[in-house]
Amino acid sequence: MLSNIRIVLINTFHPGNVGAIARAMKNMGLTNLYLVDPNDYPSEEATSRAAGAVDLLENATIVSTLEEAISDCSLVIGTSARHRTFQLPIMNARECAQTVIPESKEHDVAIVFGRETTGLLNEEIAQCHRQVYIDANDEYPVLNISQAVQIVAYEIWMANQDQTTYDKTVAEYPRKKDMDLFYEHLEDTLYGINFIVRNHPGKVLDKLHRFFNRSRPEKQELGILRGVLAAVQREAGLTDANNHPEKKAKKTPEQE
């Protein structure tokens, strides 16, 4: 079950941290490590710090974009300091583990850690459904990344030992890439009905994106929402749902 939980590290700078994280993960029964465009890797220092967890490094999946690391996940959780302007539902590490354990019975779950110095970018947080922070001293709250992974992994281990978390029933959620198709469909439709003006998109799309990521439609609900969009397009005369609205805007009168 814990094999459905992956730790995703973005642009790690110090290879020693990657090694320490592999060890921290294995200590807590996690095996699934994704590295997005790591600096200076593979490296001897990573191997040395990994100690008995070199197998995790050897089996790590190395990709070049966050997208590749999470596209088949139904739940993506970004780590962050407590306060972000881009607000998603936020949990502490303990609550995060209690959410992740039942979900990982059936689905792949990613927990994403940002760069050592700057954390996750807003556009990366925007790809997440939830945020997790680690309770810490307000006067010095920023943990070393390997320590942060250790605590998140430890809480997952603890929650997994706690049988009460097993009983939660979990809805079936769409994969990240299905949500992306929905967002495309939504955007096309909103342009098509002139709700958004192409040169002046403002922040409406971001806000809708945030709303739907936060609310996590279930698989069936997403199907209904897609159906609504298709019906809107049909009624508004945007018959070809795959037609990009820009093309429609350029239609000549003869085509109408």
Q: Which helix (H) or strand (E) holds 200?
A: none
Q: Which residue number, 69 or 173, has a Cβ lying nearer to a second copy?
A: 173
Say how many C-beta atoms besides its own lie within 10 A of residue 4's C-beta. Answer: 18
Q: Site map for a second copy, 227-256, x if CB under 8 A?
A: xx--xx-xxx--------------------
Q: List strands edge to edge, sheet with 130-133.
A: 61-63, 32-36, 5-10, 109-113, 75-79, 130-133, 90-92
DSSP codes of every residue in 24-69 = HHHHTT--EEEEES-SS-S-HHHHHHHGGGHHHHHT-EEESSHHHH
Q: Is 114 strand, coil or helix? A: coil
Q: Interface mask (CB under 8 A) for a second copy, residues 26-65, using x and -? A: xxxx-------------------x-xxx------------
**Closest distance between a second copy and the C-beta of residue 84, in Å?**
11
Strand ranges in 94-248 using DSSP code E only, listed in sequence order: 109-113, 130-133
Nearer to a second copy, 95 or 180 (CB): 95
Shortest reach from residue 171's CB to a second copy, in Å: 7
Q: How far is the CB of 235 from a second copy (least distance, A)?
A: 4
Tokens of 73: 């996940």
Ramachandran sector of residue 103 (left: φ over 0; alpha: ψ -120 to 50; beta: rest) = alpha
Binding mask 62-101 for a second copy (x = CB under 8 A): -------------------------x------x-------
What is the pattern of x (binds a second copy, CB under 8 A) and - over residues 192-211?
A: xxxx--------x--xx-xx
Q: Which residues pair with 109 in a beta bridge?
A: 5, 75
Of the candidates 65, 161, 172, 184, which one interacts with a second copy according to CB under 8 A?
A: 161
- 181 versus 236: smaller Cβ distance to a second copy: 236
Q: Which of 117, 31, 119, 109 is nearest to 82 (CA)?
A: 119
Q: CA-to-CA distance for 29 and 116, rounded, in angstroms?
A: 24
| Of the candidate residues 11, 62, 221, 244, the single one contacting a second copy (CB under 8 A) | 221
DSSP single-letter state for residue 158: H
* Contact call for residue 5 and a second copy (CB under 8 A): no
Stretch that binds a second copy, among 3-11, 72-80, 101-109, 157-165 (CB under 8 A): 157-165
The site for a second copy (CB under 8 A) is made up of 20, 23-24, 26-29, 49, 51-53, 87, 94, 134-137, 140-144, 146-147, 150-151, 154, 157-158, 161, 171, 190, 192-195, 204, 207-208, 210-212, 214-218, 220-221, 224-225, 227-228, 231-232, 234-236
